[in-house]
A = this chain, B = another copy of it.
Amino acid sequence: MSDRYASFVQTGAGRALVKRLGLPDPPRLRRHTPGDPLVPGPVLLGSSAGGRLAEPVGKILTAAGVTLPDPAASPDAGARFAALVYDATGISDSTELRQLYDFFHPHARALLPSGRVIVLGSPPAECDSPREATAQRALEGLTRSIGKEFGRGVTAQLVYVTPDGDAGTPVSLESTLRFLISGRSAYVSGQVIRVGTGTATAPADWDRPLDGQIVLVTGAARGIGAALARVLARDGARVVALDVPAVGDALAAVVNEIGGSAVQLDLTAPDAPTRLAEHLAGRHGRVDVVVHNAGITRDKTLGRMDADRWDSVIDVNLSSQERINDVLLERDLIPAGGRIVSVSSIAGIAGNRGQTNYATSKAGVIGLVDSLAPVLHERGISLNAVAPGFIETRLTARMPLMLREAGRRMNSMAQGGLPVDVAETIGWLAWPATGAASGNLVRVCGQSLLGA
């Protein structure tokens, strides 16, 4: 699980050698610790002419204690920023895209390590004209290129904010801004995130955004699932940790550490959904957040794959998510304001050699989110997916060396992510404050080159 190359590079001698030989230079990423300030420096906030979001964003950041220098002041050559935030909602024609250049060009080298670039736009499908939709869609090319270009742990995202003018927007926008600008999103880059309308509630304490929430995590005994249980508990959740009986000891260790409760259950058993529903109803009366994290791989090329490998992967990774959702929703155990987060994979986006079964199941998870999110929206429940890229776990530790090194380096961070990076991202999507982000697929991949 350890990336010894990255550790070496982060020493003084390692850094000098790497520079001389032109080797990949994985930076040490800024990650979240409770009590940290939101950002380690000032934030430069700019706006296109007529942008509608710079003002509310300025208020949100100022109230969060962030220093905002005047963007109109003549640029101080030595100034360094923790983030560049740009409101591009005023751009309604491709001829106005020049404003992006005018803002970013002078500050392209002014970001601190692990700095943030956040571009705010309007969803193209909700624009008034094809010209405006075209210009807003063009923003994606800019942010993805910046993510690949800036280096040093800098991330770049595009956030499309639905223009609804209702009073609820600032809360939803705040939760997404806080996630993206903080160390919680260390390994999330090159993403397009949609913030729409929906129930959102600001927390009493942004360091405990899940305070009092009942959260179910499947596959919680090890790896990403165990990191999830820890992060969600740290953020105030009461965690119900589920896994198969075979890993009961590991599950008990996680639960004892975080003060949660354990459920030993094989999700592929026919009565699993009803047994789970009865457990949640009897013990808590509800479940506020469901995280479908349980998943398996059974890799083989299709010609050599036996039917059991196909069936078990589809059943655990996809069909069981559908069965559990259906029973929990039928019994009204997920209240309005509830959250469901499903774990997909880059293999579900791009396909993968030797993983026809896994990629089919994980592409299905994307379909599940796309198709069920609008239905759940009417019940005040959000549904989102995350797609991890190369994450350092016992599974990736077992990969052949060259394949593992390629996976680790072929992304904008030049390193693999940690289970905690996936956990922080799922946590953000689970917050009551993040009601307005639904139907998203967010990759946690350090902007891996792989895609479709």
Specify which chain B residues have a CB less than 8 angstroms from the CB of A350 in the assembled complex.
Answer: 144, 449, 451
Do A138 and B356 form a contact, CB below 8 Å, given A105-B305, A449-B350?
A: no
- Measured CB to CB, the closest approach of chain B to A448, in angstroms, equals 9
Q: Which chain B residue lies CB-closest to A135?
A: B364
A136 near B360 with CB under 8 A, answer no
Interface mask (A91-134 → B, CB under 8 Å = 1, otherwise 0): 00011011011001100110000000000000011010111011
* A110 shortest CB reach to chain B, Å: 9
The answer on a CB contact under 8 Å between A142 and B360 is: yes
Known: A301-B108, A303-B105. A149 touches B318 (CB 8 A): no
Q: Which residues of B contact A100 (CB under 8 A)?
A: 360
Q: Which of A8-16, A28-36, A63-71, A368-376 contacts B (4 or more CB under 8 A)?
A: A368-376
Pick from B97, B348, B358, B371: contact of A124, CB under 8 Å: B371
User: Which of A179-187, A240-248, A289-297, A307-315 is the interface stretch?
Assistant: A307-315
Chain B residues near A213 (CB-CB < 8 A)? none
Which A123-181 residues sit within 8 Å CB-CB of chain B?
124-125, 127, 129-131, 133-149
Q: Chain B residues near A450 (CB, 8 Å)?
A: 449-451
Within 8 A of B (CB), among A351-372: 351-368, 370-372
CB distance from A447 to the nearest CB of B (A): 8
A361 to B145: give the CA distance in the assembly, Å. 12
Query: Given the known A-B contacts A131-B322, A302-B105, A303-B109, are A314 and B97 also in contact in the complex, defined by CB atoms under 8 Å?
Result: yes
For the complex of A and B, the 10 pairs showing the least CB-CB separation, nearest first, are A137-B367, A451-B451, A144-B351, A141-B363, A138-B364, A108-B303, A141-B359, A133-B371, A145-B351, A130-B371
Known: A130-B375, A148-B353. 8 other contacts (CB 8 A): A105-B305, A125-B370, A130-B368, A134-B367, A134-B371, A137-B363, A141-B347, A141-B364
A-B contact pairs, 21 of them (CB 8 A): A94-B319, A95-B315, A98-B307, A98-B310, A98-B311, A101-B302, A101-B305, A104-B302, A105-B303, A105-B305, A130-B371, A134-B372, A136-B367, A137-B366, A137-B368, A138-B363, A140-B363, A144-B363, A145-B356, A149-B302, A149-B354
